[in-house]
Structure 1
Amino acid sequence: MFANSTSLTENFRDIRDFILTERAKSVSEREWRFRLRGYGYGLRKIDAGYEVARLPQNTVLGVIEA
């Protein structure tokens, strides 16, 4: 779910764009992760980049390459 919308999206491209937009607004990786938790997303650093999961179920949605 996004701040300006009341609908939940399953389209990973939309989620990826949202997450990267939030990254641009953040001054640190820690703040970025904190902001995303507020929207119900969790990030986990892996070798290929970041694994994105929907919280609290921790369901993996995809990977964002670093």
Structure 2
Amino acid sequence: MIEQTHLDAPVLELVTRERTMALSTREWKFRLAGYGYAIKDVAGEQVVTSLLKGTELGKLPHTLH
């Protein structure tokens, strides 16, 4: 179950910045892992998670899919 629907502004900025610099989705996910984040599919939504704690941080905006 997704607890938080929106990402905090600093995390969203990082995810967005890394997406614009990456040439592919695979590279983007690899770059995010370097910052301790991952993207997983939950109930049809893409969710940003913390790799360290395994917690869901919030839904990824559809514009970044």
Task: Supply the RMSD in Å over aligned alpha carbons.
Answer: 1.5
- Distance in 2 (CA, whole Å) between partners of 1:18 and 1:57 is 18
Question: Bigger relative contact order, structure 1 or 2, given CA contacts below 8 A and separation 6+?
Answer: 2
Aligned residue-pair number = 55
Equivalent position of 1:15 in the other structure: 11
Aligned-pair identity in percent equals: 33
Structure 2: tracts of 5 or more residues without a match: 1-6
Q: TM-score under structure 2 normalisation?
A: 0.74
Offset at residue 17 of structure 1 (A): 1.0
Hey, what's the Cα distance between the residues in 1 that align with 2:41 and 2:17? 18
Q: What TM-score comes out, normalization by structure 1 length?
A: 0.73
Task: Give the structure with the higher percent strand.
Answer: 1
Distance 2:57 2:41 in 1: 14
Q: CA deviation at 1:20?
A: 0.6
SS in structure 2 of the partner of residue 45 of structure 1? strand
